[in-house]
Amino acid sequence: MRWDRRREDGDVEGLVAEVAAAFEAEDYEGALARAQAALARSPRSLPALHYRAAALAEMGRLEEAREGYERALVQGKDDLDLLYGAADFQLNVLAEDDSDREALERGLDLAARGAKLARRSGDRELAGEFAWLEGVAFNQLGRSTEALARLDEAVAAHPESVDVRLERGFALYELCRFDEAREELLRAERLDRDDAWTQHTLGLVLERRGGAKEAERRFARARKLAPDEFPKPIALSPQAFDHAVEDALAKLPETVRRYLSNVAITVEELPSDEDLLASDPPLSPAILGLFRGVPHGAGAVDPWTHLPSAIVLYQKNLERFAKSKKELVEQIGITLIHEVGHFLGLDEEELWARGLE
């Protein structure tokens, strides 16, 4: 936890010093108890409020930590250290799996405010740290063009940061700028050869450039470095995957299957560059599926290609996403429903609002 220690009166100052010592020693229960004691004497003590929220986060009491950070921000909405801690908590703890959109957007707001204040104060390095957090938020929200702009500022301030180089490499990967992504990720690797995320993301880039053997070596190294984060993906034969698709189709509601009656369902290993670059900005290379063709009501055949509408499932991406065969079958069904939404003419925001994301 980064903190510019503030002076407090009398016993509260001593308690805050004890909180800091307990936190530094990773005694988070002790830090929380001392922070509570400090707040009992001085309910508006900003360092005590901050330490309390951070201790709750370290203890895994995330909803209490979320409330704790918001309580602290009432007292210190312009405090740079608090803004950084709160933004980092929202983006790298609450939204770690990218599924908490509210946390992503809140974290982005806090990081943007901190970056603006840090620039105003002339603190280029701290502004770069906030810019990195903004880049993390934009990447997780699927807005990698905006992420790249923020990460360029972060790299200028922190050229030797593995986290910054990795996040910038990931933004370039998401934007399908694969050669640039590879170069940036190799820079990150030179800074830390044992960073599992760098190895995994390099694998993703190399896989798209025909380096299958080298990509698998990178994936294997990431699994060795961080087995909990990178378990070996489910690997099915084409026949077994087709069977999993059939199982998922059979489990879809009849109303959904009815829409699929005139839509071809195909399986490919990975999305092609052509499919990804057909959109502006490009689609993520990690997409699980894609609807090709014309929306419902506009005809069963694309008038330009004369091909029937189709839903494509990407086997490697789906296998990498799932942690078990059961989860794989469930995700195939979710992806089918998602692409049916596109067939019906819904955009990504509408899909999210209807729970189809």
- Which tens digits make up the pLDDT trace of 283-339? 999 999 998 877 755 554 444 444 568 899 999 999 999 988 889 988 998 898 888
Average pLDDT of the residues in 64-73? 97
Domain 238-353: which topology?
Answer: Zincin-like (3.30.2010)
For the chain, what percent of residues have pLDDT higher than 90?
70
By CB atoms closer than 10 A (0-12, 13-18, 19+), residue 91 is buried
Q: CA–CA separation, 104 vs 107, rounded Å?
A: 5
CB 263 within 8 A of CB 308: yes
If you average pLDDT over residues 56-75, what whole number do you get? 96
- Where in the chain are all domains bearing CATH 3.30.2010.20? 238-353
The boundaries of every CATH 1.25.40.10 domain in the chain are 159-232
C-alpha Rg value of the chain to the nearest Å: 24
Name the residue with higher pLDDT: 211 or 156: 156
Q: Please, what is the average pLDDT of the chain?
A: 89
Confidence of residue 98 (pLDDT cuts 50, 70, 90): low
* Residue 22: HSE in the Cβ half-sphere, 13 Å Cα cutoff: 21
| Between 295 and 85, the higher pLDDT residue | 85
Question: What are 111-161's pLDDT values in tens digits?
Answer: 999 999 999 999 999 999 999 999 999 999 999 999 999 999 999 999 999
CATH of 159-232, one of 3.40.50.300, 1.25.40.10, 1.10.1070.20, 1.20.1730.10: 1.25.40.10
Binned at pLDDT 50, 70 and 90, residue 91 comes out as: very high
* Full-model pTM: 0.87
Are the C-beta atoms of residues 343 and 298 closer than 8 Å to each other? no
Amino acid at 279: S
Which residues are bridge partners to 1 per DSSP?
A: none
3-state secondary structure the chain: CCCCCCCCCHHHHHHHHHHHHHHHCCCHHHHHHHHHHHHHHCCCCHHHHHHHHHHHHHCCCHHHHHHHHHHHHHHCCCCHHHHHHHHHHHHHHHCCCCCCHHHHHHHHHHHHHHHHHHHHHCCHHHHHHHHHHHHHHHHHCCCHHHHHHHHHHHHHHCCCCHHHHHHHHHHHHHCCCHHHHHHHHHHHHHHCCCCHHHHHHHHHHHHHCCCHHHHHHHHHHHHHHCCCCCCCCCCCCHHHHHHHHHHHHHHCCHHHHHHHHHCEEEEECCCCHHHHHCCCCCCCCCCCEEEECCCCCCCCECCCCCCECEEEEEHHHHHHHCCCHHHHHHHHHHHHHHHHHHHCCCCHHHHHHCCCC
Query: Which residue, chain included where needed, has tokens 């390095």?
Result: 125
- pLDDT recorded at residue 355: 46
d(CA 329, CA 3): 46
With 60 as the cut, is the pLDDT of residue 4 above it? no
- In the block, residue with structure tokens 């929306």: 295
